[in-house]
Amino acid sequence: MAAKYLSWLSYGFKTFLLKKEIPYLFGMVITDKCNLNCFYCESKNSGRYHFSYDHAKATIENAYQRGHRSLYFTGGEPMVWEDKGHTIEELIQFSREIGFLEIFIFTNGTIPLKIKQCNYIVTIDGPKAIHNEIRYDTYDIILNNVENAVTRAIFASITFSKSNYLYLDQFVKEISATKLFRGISFNLLTHWPEIVAEHGVTQEERKKLLDDLWSLKKEGFPIVISKAAYKALRNNNWKRPIPQIELGTKDKIFKCCRDVDNPSVCKNCGYANCVEVSQILALKPSAMWQVIKMVGE
């Protein structure tokens, strides 16, 4: 724990006082393979993104050498990744050994959460009936896996679209009542233009949704967003892309995310975690406090 706070202090000193742009959060699209087929996922089973074990280790090591200290795996479904008998658990262990301080797995939660030393971000796309429509009757399987997980560092995450945004209140109350999750994070569906045109929320719906989320947060529900990030996301006036975040595929490393060269996507970005990071870099106290609450334990 002390190592984490010392690292944050050192990072803050170099970033804010010495004005250096040092990377911190590295994402890896470790595979495109997935056991589900959700309508809004552009990566799933596309054959484009599967890392080999050696390439994955080299990429992780290189990210660490360039300054990154926080790492997340996404996909596809990272929990199904394997290469010549090597598993995602080995990559997590390797990442810990070389010095990564926080490690996250974005998972659909359908595979038992048996890997220690990481945080899980588990997608749940609405209250039970709505989630099951979008994600193939997996709600009970996921909750059972969360209940039996080896850690309590588990967050629920919802991607808001036209399919589920009207169920926000029911979703937050249902998930909170399980007492299984440390918090509820979210994204807005904004990254795949053809899908967004059909399934994304409008600008007015977006504002209302964010206002409702903020109201629920003020009521005491564990929604992972700071006041600064809520305002920045609602007003869409945060500085992007974020050079301290990188996303690696097997072929390329992107600044911030794969849409960095797509201004029409970037200008409406709904990745709440990126907005939160932008507010930390803007030295907003509420954003700093939010991240300490999320990963400082």
Q: Which residue has the tokens 């807005």?
A: 188
What is residue 144's three-state secondary structure?
Answer: helix
Q: What is the CA radius of gyration of the chain?
A: 18
> What are residue 103's phi and psi, to 5 degrees?
-130, 130
Give the span between the Cα atoms of 175 and 123, in whole angstroms. Answer: 12
Our CB check for ligand SF4 shows the closer of 29 and 92 to be: 29
**260: region left, alpha or beta (phi > 0 left; psi from -120 to 50 alpha):** alpha
Q: How far is the CB of 244 from ligand SF4 (least distance, A)?
A: 11
For ligand SF4, which is the closer residue by CB, 25 or 143? 25
Which residues sit at the interface with ligand SF4, rule CB under 6 A?
240-242, 256-257, 259-260, 265-266, 269, 271, 274
| Residue 176: CB minimum distance to ligand SF4, A | 27
Q: Which is nearer to ligand SF4, 193 or 241 (CB)?
A: 241
CB of 147 to ligand SF4, least distance (A): 32
- Residue closer to ligand SF4, measured from CB, 125 or 276: 276
- CB atoms inside a 10 Å sphere around CB 169: 14
Cβ 262 to ligand SF4, closest distance in Å? 7
- Nearest distance, CB of residue 12 and ligand SF4, angstroms: 22
Round to whole Å and give the CA distance between 110 and 36: 9
Q: Toward ligand SF4, which CB reaches closer, 158 or 265?
A: 265
